[in-house]
Structure 1
C-alpha cells in the first residue's frame, strides 16, 4: 500500500511538471504549487524546505544582470564576443560551459551560473548558434564545478573527519581526481552536443517565434552591428562593475577567512555564500547603474529581468513540490537503496545518482549515502572517483539552474520535452556523469 501511494505521488508530480512545462512561462511555478497543495493537504506530507536562498540569489543576480543590460553592458559583452565568434562561432559550445564550470569551481556554488547563462544564450542566438547546445552543457558544468570545488559544501562533506577525512583522503586528492575528470567530461559533452538538434534557423520553434515577432533576427543583427561600430561609451564601465561583483563572489568563495564573522552563542560563525552573493550582487547593481548612467526603470523593462522573474516563480513552486515529495518519502527511498547497494556494491554510483535526484543536493547525498559506502568496504579512492555521481538531479528538469536556463533561452530550443524526461539537459548530464567517473577511475589507477 505504501509503495502504491508513493508511485501515485510520483505520477502526480511528473504530470504537473508536464502540464507546467506545456503551459510555459510561470506555469511550472503555478502547477508546482498545485502539487505542493495535493501532497500536503491530500497525502499528508510535511511541506519541504522552501528554496528561499536560491530564489533570493536569483533576484540579486538578475537585478545586477538587468542593471547591466540597462546600461548597455550586456550588449557590449555580446558585441565583443560576436567579433570573435564570427571567426569561430562553434566555440561558444565549448567556451560557455568551460567558463561556467570555472566560475562555479572557484565560488563553490552553481548559482554563479545565473549571471553567465543569459550572456551565453545571447551570444549563441546572435551568432545563429542553437542556444540549447552551450546552455545544456553549461548548466550541467555548473554542477560539476561543485564536485571538485575546494570551497563547496559537498567537498567539505566528503573530506570531513567522520567520512573520508579519517581514511587518508585530503582536499588535494579530491582536486587531483575530480578537476581533470570534470574538465574532460565537459569537453566530451560539448563535442557531442555541438552536433545535437537542428541548426537554429531550421528549428520549428525558433521559426515560429520569428514569425510571431518574438524574435527579430534582422533587427538583432543590425543592433549588433551598431553596438560593435558605436558602443555605449559608459557600457564598459558597467561591465567592469559587474565583473568586479563576480570577482568579489569568487574571492569570498575561495578564501572563507575573508568573509565577515560573528559570534553566535559563544561560537564564531562566518557569513555563508548565499548571503555573500545576495549582498554583493544587489549592492553592486547600484554601482552598475551609476557608472553606466542607466535608469532603474529601464532595468525592469529588459528581457533579462523578465526571464529571471519567470525563473524565480517557477522555482518557487516546482522545487518546493520536489522537496516535499522526496523528503516526505525519504525513509522509504533510503531503505530500498541501501538494500540494493548491500547486494551489489558496484552499483553504489547508481545509488548516489538516484539519491541526488531525490535530495537535490550534492552535500546531502554525500552525507546520506557515503557512510553506507564506507560500511560496505568500498575503497576511499573509489568513493572519490564516484563523487560526480551526486550531480544526478538534472534527471528531472526542475532544478533551479535548469529552469533558469530554459527561461533565458528566448529561442525556445532549450526546453522540456513532451514526455518531461526528454529534456535538453539529459544527454549532456549522462555524458558528463559517465565520463567524469570513468576518468576519475583512470586517475586513481595511474596516480595512486
Structure 2
C-alpha cells in the first residue's frame, strides 16, 4: 500500500502545482483527507510554528510596506544599481539577496525587478542576465535569513543534534552569498549581447521598448523609520537567540523560546511601526506582501501536513529503503530536496516535510545544512510569481520561457547557484561544525 499512498501524495502535489498559487495548500489538505479517511493513516503533525512565524513576519513586513519602507529600500537599491550599470548582473542579485535575507521573504524582489530591467537596458546589458540570477538569489536567500520560517524550523530540527541556530546561519550565509556570485558569473556569460539580439532589434524597430521611467520621489521620513524599526527587530531576534542558545548559555532558562520570541518581536515591530509612522491599519491587509505571505502560510499548512502524514506513517520503511543510500551518498539529500521543492513551491514546506525524515535516517548535520539551499529550486518550473514577473517586466524579450518548459532563462543560473551553495556548504560546514 505504501506505493499507492505515495502516488496519492504525488497526485495531490501535482494537482496543487497545476492549480497554482494557494492551490498547493488546498490540494495538500485534500490529500490528508484521502490518506486518513480512505487509507486509514494517522494524521501527521500540523507545522504550527512555521505558519505562525510566517504570519508574524508578514504582518510586520506589510506594516513596513504600508509605511513606504519597501519603496525606500527600492530607492536605495536603485541608487546602488545606477552607480555602475555595466555591473548590474553582479549588483542586482546582491540587492535582492540582502532584501530577502533581511525581510525573510522573497516577495520583496518584486519591487526591485523593474529597476533592474531599466538599469540593464541603460547599461546595454541583456536584462535576462541580471533578472535571472536576481530571482534565484531572492529565493536562495530564504535559506540564510535569520527570520525566515524555513531557517527557524530547520534550526529547531538541528538543535537536538548539537547544532545551534547561529552555527546554521554561519554556514548558510557565506555559502549562499558566494554561490550567488558563482551564479552571476555564469548568467553573465549566457545569451547574445543585447544590441545583437534579433528579438530586441525587432522590438526596437516596432517601438515596443519602454522609455526610461520618471525618477522616483524622495521617500518620507516614515518610510525610513519603518525600515529602521524592522531592522532593530531583526537585530533583537538574533541577539536573543544567541543569548538563549546552549552554546552561549547566558540565559539558561528563558521565559520565552526562540520561535515564540520571533513571533512576539515581529508583532511588536508591527505595532511600533503603526504608532510611529501613523499608518492606516485597515489598509495593511491590502498590501501585496500581506496577501502573498498569507497565501504562503496556507500552502505550507496543506503540503507540509500532507508530507508529514505520509512520512510519519512509513518512517520505518523509508529508513530501510533510503537510509543506507543517504548515509553513503549524503549529497543525494540535495537532489531529493531539489526535486521536492520544485513541486512544493515553498522552502518552509519542503524543509518541514522532508528534513525530519532525512535526519531520522541518519544524515549528518553537516550534510543536511549543506543540502539546505536545495529547497530553493522554486525556479525550475516556470510558474513561480517572481519568475513570471521578471519575464513580464523585460520588454526586450531576452528573459523568456522556452516552449519545452524547462528551457527558460532561469534554469542554468539557478542550478549552478544551488550546486555551488551545496559545495560551499560542505566546505564551511566542515570548518564550523
Task: Provide the TM-score with structure 1 as the length reference.
Answer: 0.67
Q: Structure 1 residue 280: deviation in Å?
A: 0.8
* Residue of structure 1 equivalent to 2:280: 295
* Residue of structure 1 equivalent to 2:356: 364
* Residue of structure 2 equivalent to 1:191: 185
Deviation per residue, 1:83-111 (Å, 9 max, x gap):
2222344312133325655x5xxxxxxxx
1:311 has 2:314 as partner: no
* Residue of structure 2 equivalent to 1:323: 308
1:126 has 2:129 as partner: no
Distance 1:61 1:97, change over 3 A: same
Q: Structure 1 residue 121: deviation in Å?
A: 2.5
* Residue of structure 1 equivalent to 2:336: 354
Q: 1:413 & 1:318 partners in 2: Cα distance?
A: 27
* Unaligned segments of structure 2, at least 5 residues: 118-126, 200-209, 341-349, 393-399
CA contact (8 A) 1:148 1:155 kept: no
Q: Structure 1 residue 156: deviation in Å?
A: 3.6
1:255 has 2:243 as partner: yes
* Residue of structure 1 equivalent to 2:50: 54
Q: 1:271 & 1:176 partners in 2: Cα distance?
A: 24
CA contact (8 A) 1:352 1:369 kept: no
Q: Structure 1 residue 388: deviation in Å?
A: 0.6
Q: 1:82 & 1:93 partners in 2: Cα distance?
A: 13
SS, match of residue 95 in structure 2: helix
Q: Structure 1 residue 337: deviation in Å?
A: 0.8
* Residue of structure 2 equivalent to 1:14: 13
SS, match of residue 127 in structure 1: helix
Deviation per residue, 1:252-294 (Å, 9 max, x gap):
2333269xx9x9xxx9455332211111111111111222121
Q: 1:198 & 1:330 partners in 2: Cα distance?
A: 50
* Residue 113 (structure 1) aligned to one of 75, 86, 104: 104
1:374-413 superposed matches below 5 A: 384=366, 387-394=369-376, 406=384, 411=389, 413=391
Distance 1:158 1:134, change over 3 A: farther
Q: 1:173 & 1:233 partners in 2: Cα distance?
A: 36
CA contact (8 A) 2:58 2:289 kept: yes
* Residue of structure 2 equivalent to 1:38: 34
CA contact (8 A) 2:285 2:291 kept: yes
CA contact (8 A) 1:365 1:390 kept: no
Distance 1:416 1:244, change over 3 A: farther
Q: Structure 1 residue 239: deviation in Å?
A: 2.0
Distance 1:278 1:359, change over 3 A: closer
1:152 has 2:144 as partner: no
Distance 1:394 1:439, change over 3 A: closer
CA contact (8 A) 1:100 1:138 kept: yes
Q: Structure 1 residue 177: deviation in Å?
A: 7.3
1:88-237 superposed matches below 5 A: 88=85, 89-90=88-89, 91-97=91-97, 100=100, 113-114=104-105, 117-128=106-117, 133-143=133-143, 152-153=155-156, 156-159=159-162, 181-193=175-187, 221-222=213-214, 225-228=215-218, 231-237=219-225
CA contact (8 A) 1:185 1:433 kept: yes
Q: Structure 1 residue 35: deviation in Å?
A: 1.9
CA contact (8 A) 1:71 1:294 kept: yes
* Residue of structure 1 equivalent to 2:72: 76
SS, match of residue 221 in structure 2: coil
Task: Provide the TM-score with structure 2 as the length reference.
Answer: 0.69
Q: RMSD in angstroms over aligned alpha carbons?
A: 4.8
SS, match of residue 348 in structure 1: coil
